Amino acid sequence: MLNTWIAATAVAVIAGVTGFFAVLRGSSFAAHALPNGAFAGAAAASLLGLNPFAGLAVFSAAGALGIAALSRRARADVATALTFVMMLGLGALFVSWSTEYAQQAYSLLFGEVFGVASAEVPPILALGAAAVAAIAAMFRPLLLSSALPEVAEARGLSARRMDLGFLLVMALATSMTVPVVGALLMFSLMIGPAAAARSLTARPALAMGLAAGIALVTVWAGIVISYESGWPLGFFVGMMGAAFFLLGRGYAAARRRPAARAAA
């Protein structure tokens, strides 16, 4: 359980920090595609007898590079979809070659937060720290290119380089989060809290902190309820992520009403 709390806390923080920029940049589809596509890398690593983290990292980075390269000649959503389809196809192929991979495939898709081994904690913490450090290093230019892309281009910031840099950071985050909450649940943990935080405040630093805080509450509460009820953690993570988003939108709408009445 100690490993569970440590890993889940690291995952929640990096999901909130990365998810803020994913929502701000309109990269929610990429946030969905990268963790699900990286599943193929874990399958390949298992076939070769390697650490699944290595496969996740390689395929996540390859997916980020593929999306960035295809985006030069196609729309971003089309490039993301094509990369996602190719990675899923490879994953299906790798899984078909193994008859002993079913349980591990399930854990990578839906998470195995109660089965985090002691040997998995250091890589999770190291990759999480690297992702946070990368976000901190590129915070100002990334924020400018996300909120005001035309101004960023005028100041000499390459939109393609910033897209590639952020995609690689998101790929790094994917590598350390998928084994804990699963590929399918990482999407809700990354997008739900960040979208809720953006509804609560327009200040970037505060919104990022709120996103991480909401993600922490979601994961911690989900672990407790899942442990006591025996229901899967994914159900609670998904439901609470959606609930926080709806609460945030409701708060934003209620806050706008007095201003609208005053203006009228």
Cα-to-chain-centroid distance, residue 232: 19
Using one digit for the tens of pLDDT, what is the confidence trace for 84-131? 888 888 877 877 776 555 556 666 666 666 777 787 788 788 888 888
Of all residues in the chain, what percent carry a pLDDT higher than 70? Answer: 88
CB 40 within 8 A of CB 90: yes
Instruction: Report the CATH number of the 2-184 domain.
Output: 1.10.3470.10
Domain boundaries, the chain: 2-184
- Look at 217 and 178; give whichever has higher pLDDT: 217
pLDDT tops 70 at residue 262 = no
What predicted TM-score, i.e. pTM, was given to this entire model?
Answer: 0.81
Q: What pLDDT does residue 210 have?
A: 93
The C-alpha torsion from 252 through 253 and 258 to 264, rounded to 10°, is: 130
Using one digit for the tens of pLDDT, what is the confidence trace for 13-41? 888 888 899 888 888 888 878 877 777 78
Confidence class for position 179, pLDDT limits 50, 70, 90: low
Q: In the numeric block, which tokens belong to residue 192?
A: 């739900």
The percent of the chain in helix, strand and coil, each rounded to the nearest 5, is 85, 0, 15
Q: What CA–CA distance (Å, rounded) separates 195 from 191?
A: 6
Q: What pLDDT does residue 217 have?
A: 93
Q: What CA–CA distance (Å, rounded) separates 212 from 132?
A: 12
